[in-house]
Amino acid sequence: MTKASVAMDRFMDKLNRDGFNKDNQPNNGPELTTAFIEEQLQSFTDLMRSGLVDAATSFKK
């Protein structure tokens, strides 16, 4: 059985050599254009106005 430290060292080595596809890296994401930001803000605004966040976070005794 491989020791945890050895497994972690191997994992970090592969990660540093780009052996894994890293999905959430800035260069893999959408381009931050004005249109994209406006779309995200509108989506957030719609969510806040929907009342779902208030309903999900309200505690009734």
Give 15-61 pLDDT, tens digit per residue: 777 766 666 555 666 788 999 999 999 999 999 999 998 888 887 65
Say if residues 33 and 27 touch (Cβ distance below 8 Å): no
Q: How far apart are CA 12 and CA 28, in angstroms?
A: 21
pTM of the model: 0.47
Radius of gyration for the alpha carbons in the chain, expressed in angstroms and rounded: 21
Tokens representing 27 are: 């260069």
